[in-house]
A and B are shown apart, each in its own frame.
Chain A
Amino acid sequence: MQPPILTDNKWIEEFTEALNLQKSLSSWKQYNMAFETAQKNMISDFQTLEAPKQLPQLTFHDYQYDAARKALNEMNGRAILADEVGLGKTIEAGLILKEYMIRGLVKKVLILAPASLVTQWCAELNSKFYIPAVEQRKKPQWETVDIMVTSIDTAKRGNHAEIIKNIDYDMVIIDEAHKLKNKKTKNYQFVREVKKKFCLLLTATPVQNKLSELFHLISLLKPGYLGDEEAFNDYFQRGEHYGELQELIKKVMIRNRRDETEMDWPKRIVQTVPVRFSSDYHSVYQQICQLKQKMKEEYLSPQSGFLVLTLQREFCSSREAVFMTLKNAVEKREMPSEQMNQEFLNMMTSLNHLPSHPKADKVLDLINSWEKDEKVVIFTEYRATQLYLQWFLGQHGIRSVPFRGGFKRSKKDWMRQLFQNQAQVLIATEAGGEGINLQFCHRIINYDLPWNPMRIEQRIGRLHRLGQEKDVNIYHLAVENTIEDHILKLLYKKIGLFEGVIGELDHILEKFGSNHIQSHLSSIFSQSESEGEMRIKLDHLSSIVLEEENEEATHATN
């Protein structure tokens, strides 16, 4: 085929004018220098990367270089960059973007990052890649700024979204793209309607729970690549055509794993710290456990099992967390019987008489056993616990700062700064786990354990990432003989969650398909009649997971 040939009419016009008017004519030296300079900057072939020549002070790891080459040459600039947390996806994206800019294929760029990372994206692109990225301001100039970094929440707002949708972007980069896993959300619809030639989706966890999440991500890049949703579900969800799916995915997704990168990573030193309930705590815990039986006797709704489960988990975290849930239930009159209501009120009173939470005491012991001012990030699932811990540590002269997903970007930056320079402890809730880099800290306390194993990896990844120079110490706190202990001992330990090779875990989760672990756990805990039944079921779950893992291993050796 013969592609259309376009001529440089602007030059011809200007040349004719320059000759006629005898103006803007160059000297012989200028003329020569111009042509020489243009030759020096010529792109001589389709494939060789030009960007590294222009970034002499950056050293890329081989896997990063390969990722960029693959995304550019094999994936046509539409790719999911899904390296494990901390391997430098931003660097890969920067390299790809730079290459396209040098080649003149990309001018107009939109980068959507979590609010807390917008500033950092800008700083890195400017300082490392000399890409003049601009942070969106109060009055964003979508049309005039060529390389704009903003958060998706800002961009999707009505007045902005309309403007953005009318711009032809050469490239759109989306950081933490797993947030787009649900096609019904506004975010997803918005991204889908942005016109984008090249597109990079960055995520460390392309599959969190279900395969369909990956389907939706890929459909943003290449709609139809995995068929339509129905066909996809029919064909792949049952896990029969897994190999085929993997082959397809490999063509749009690059995933480097820590243990495959042949680099000397700082170690992860994992330690489980058992916590024992004192008798007063223990008796309240028992009280909660007995609720389940009582509720059953009153034939309350099936969700009541779940409520008890929540209370149990919360009680292992802090009195405050349980208290909030009880208070809510009472206030909303969720309890149909007066007797249950009274039960709850009694429980609230007994909570009031409890001393400080043994886990909090344990945290204090831990911190005191380290060198003075040794920094630590504490992750908890509950806001009430977060507040309590901050107060509690404050009582003992330890400065801490809170961190939540809901904070505004500026506040997140500020908190991070405070933590780095002034406070010893950062207390983050789950949603706050993403989108901050805390390489300067070497210790994590998992104050309570999330039920989605990928979340643990994300937490650890905040610290254990490129740029971390020391080994990272990870402490899991679990109260003995409680639901936490079960999760820890019967499941996480068995599947080797903490041993560090978590990279394998997402394989397993991918295979699990829609039967995801979380819902398994919920149903096991809320529906088991006895301790024994629960043990057996958990055992079962862990052996399924292990089996998948073994299968994976045999596949790999074949």
Chain B
Amino acid sequence: MQQTEICKFLKVFFSENGCAITETSPYSIQVQLTEELDKALMNRPFYWHYIEKMGGQPNLSTLSLKTDPNEEEGELIHFGSPRLHKIFSYVIEKGRFGQFFEPVPPEGNTVPLKPWLCLNGKIVYHCHQKKEEIFSIGLSLITGEMLKEFHSLVKGGSLKVSIPDFCFTLTPLIKPVSGIERIHKYLFHTIEKENHQWAEEAMCKMDKELALLERFYAGTAEKPPSYEKEKASITGLYAPSIQLEIINGGIFHLHNHPLTGFSLEE
């Protein structure tokens, strides 16, 4: 993330969360935190414990942040700063589950909305190294149709969290839980077709080091405690695995098919 991008992100984040922002310059802001954000970002549990016990009026913190090191006032925020990472985890925590509706303009007739399930996540390739790959898959809970890059299809629409007037939702034929299973199956299938040379290499390293370890202790009749520890360390280090980590997901009630675009807001 570039500094200008971070600056934009911060402004969106704080205003989304109901904080009053004063722009002191293009690259620095002053934010009056809400109670929730104060608790989430300021790391002062004792203060909050005290206030809640005593029933006092909390004195909410003000944050002064800058994204340009040349600015005078404020705490410098960059891609590595702990404050930003706290914000990141807060953002991710707050956006894990959703239920959204396409904003269909009222036309007199009642309109059915079809349910879709979407899972956004990462395939994590894990051994002594790690890499990740993002996936976003949508599944029609009526027809079982599956769409890749689902999120990029829907993210442009201004979806709502409550059902628009004159709309009704169709009951899914596929239950969300089975839907999740289907998506997983699809992912398993794709992963299995991939080339897993990385895992083979890791296993190879593991076997080599385990063999060395055996040889190292070959002469000792009774193996010392360090032997088991070292063995466990080596296995723990190299053993390859793949994790399907879900970032977020939700049920989407859509009138139009995602590939054809959505109704715009009135």
Contacts and interface: CB of A to CB of B under 8 A. Distances in A.
B233 A195 contact: yes
Tell which of A2, A44, A224 has the most Cβ of chain B within 10 Å.
A224
B129 to A, nearest CB: 4
A46 B97 contact: no
B97 A19 contact: yes
A500 interface: no
Nearest to A48: B131
A382 to B, nearest CB: 38
B91 A34 contact: yes
A3 B196 contact: yes
B81 interface: yes
17 contacts: A2-B196, A3-B199, A7-B184, A8-B245, A11-B246, A16-B177, A18-B97, A28-B161, A35-B248, A37-B88, A46-B129, A46-B198, A54-B78, A77-B237, A132-B82, A168-B236, A193-B225
A7 B12 CA distance: 32
A5 B244 contact: yes
B97 A223 contact: no
A211 B17 CA distance: 62
Contacts of A391: none
Given A35-B151, A130-B81, A16 B176 contact: yes
B226 A7 contact: no
Contacts of A25: 97-99, 161, 250
B219 A28 contact: no
A103 interface: yes
Instruction: Indicate the member of B213, B218, B247 with the most A CB atoms within 10 Å.
Output: B247
Nearest to B194: A2
A3 B247 CA distance: 22
B229 A42 contact: no
B20 interface: no
B192 interface: yes
Given A34-B96, A44-B131, A194-B229, A4 B242 contact: yes
A33 B232 contact: no
B161 A27 contact: yes
Interface in A17-58: 18-19, 22, 24-35, 37-47, 53-57
Contacts of B53: none
Interface string B78-103: 11111000001001111111111000
Given A3-B241, A34-B96, A223-B216, A54 B251 contact: no
Contact of B100 (A28, A56, A103): A28
Interface of B: 1, 12-13, 16, 69, 78-82, 88, 91-100, 120-122, 125-134, 136, 151, 155, 158-161, 176-177, 180, 184, 188, 191-192, 196, 198-200, 203, 205, 209, 211-219, 225-226, 229-230, 232-233, 236-238, 240-251
A130 B16 contact: no
A230 B242 CA distance: 41
Interface of A: 1-8, 11-12, 14-16, 18-19, 22, 24-35, 37-47, 53-57, 72-73, 76-78, 103-105, 130, 132, 165, 168, 189, 192-198, 219, 222-225, 227-228, 230
A34 B192 CA distance: 28
A76 B155 CA distance: 40
A43 B132 contact: yes
Contacts of B248: 26, 31, 34-35, 38
Contacts of A223: 212-213, 216-217, 226, 230
B84 to A, nearest CB: 9
Contacts of B134: 38-39, 42
A54 B177 CA distance: 38
Contacts of B69: 57
A130 B200 CA distance: 35
Given A1-B203, A32-B95, A222 B212 contact: yes
B94 A26 contact: yes
Given A28-B161, A46-B129, A76-B128, A8 B244 contact: yes
Given A3-B199, A54-B80, A195-B229, A42 B97 contact: no
Contact of A43 (B99, B130, B242): B130
Nearest to A170: B236
Given A46-B198, A103-B130, A193-B225, A24 B244 contact: no
Given A3-B199, A5-B242, A34 B247 contact: yes
A37 B80 CA distance: 14
B210 to A, nearest CB: 9
